Amino acid sequence: MILTEGKQRGLQNITDENNIIFATAMDQRGSLGKMIQNFNSQKSYDKSISEFKEGVAQILGNESSSLLLDPEFGWDAAKNLNDKIGLIMAYEKTGYDAKEKGRLPNLVDFYAIQDLANNGSDAIKLLVYYDHNEETEVNEIKKTFIKRVGDECKQNDILFILEPVAYSHEGLDAKSTEFAKVKPAIVEYFMSEFSKDIYGVDVLKVEVPISIYNIEGYDIYENYNPVFSKDDAQKSYKKCSDLSKIPFIYLSGGVSNEQFIETLKFAKNSGSEFNGCLCGRAIWKDGIETYATQSWNEYIEWLENQGLENLNRVKETLHSTASPIQL
């Protein structure tokens, strides 16, 4: 893997001593604010989002190789990171306009990539919702959008992480059996298409092609819905891995801590050569209620105990399953 000096430095800063990316994701905005207010509607929306991130950065971020934040609520949290921890900044606005066709992406206000780089970011992350069966015009808009961000990252010599997220343009529910059946093909497309040089992507942050609860044999989970045999699922994981021409990492996708750990093990046993993970809710989600309903000290205590336990379980599993990046 040949990178320019700035991109190489960024990759080194976000990886650990084993050349694996073990990043904690804390760029949630609207969804985090809603979850906090569901537990305590008296909490200030903006302030609570920022505060929650500060706690995660202080306790969990400093035990990760890097932390993913957003420039809208994350700068105070970033100040809590020690010098050895890499900083990844999200570049997209949270969510999408449900009234607009195609879930078209948009960038955060007030920040260009040069601003994020000048404020200490080691890498830029861009999330784009994508269905390769969507109308050509919509997908061409998205591809051009990705290329523009890729060019901006090249101009500023900063690492570019792309997070394409699968969805159904036909409106299939993301948790449905019908969507589970078509999702592997979408993820395969991500690996093949967006690892091409024309996009300027350095690292892919992707979903697994098949969720662990959609694989036969994992009936210990309450949301168990077997759609694929173990053998077919392993082939899918391996195929997606083989299609990528650049390093890639898995996102946790909102599954539980236990399910994400089992997912990493399944990926390894399938022959997937993933290079780490960007894990968020599977580590800190259960701390939202403590933050919203109890004192700051009790929230910090939760992070130092249950939060770190969740994080260390993922870290331990990752080091026995992920493939080091050849820096």
pLDDT, residue 254, reads 87
pLDDT, residue 6, reads 97
pLDDT digit string, tens, across residues 217-261: 999 999 999 999 999 999 999 999 999 999 999 999 989 999 999
Per the rule left: phi > 0, alpha: psi between -120 and 50, beta: everything else, 5 is: alpha
pLDDT, residue 230, reads 98
pLDDT, residue 252, reads 93
CB 74 within 8 A of CB 66: no
pLDDT, residue 100, reads 86
Pick out the chain residues at pLDDT < 70: 1
pLDDT, residue 287, reads 98
d(CA 303, CA 306): 6
Half-sphere exposure of 287 (CA within 13 A, CB side): 32
pLDDT digit string, tens, across residues 128-165: 999 999 999 999 999 999 999 999 999 999 999 999 99
pTM above 0.75, yes or no: yes
Phi, psi values for residue 326, rounded to 5°: -80, 95
pLDDT, residue 138, reads 97
pLDDT, residue 148, reads 98
CB 66 within 8 A of CB 23: yes
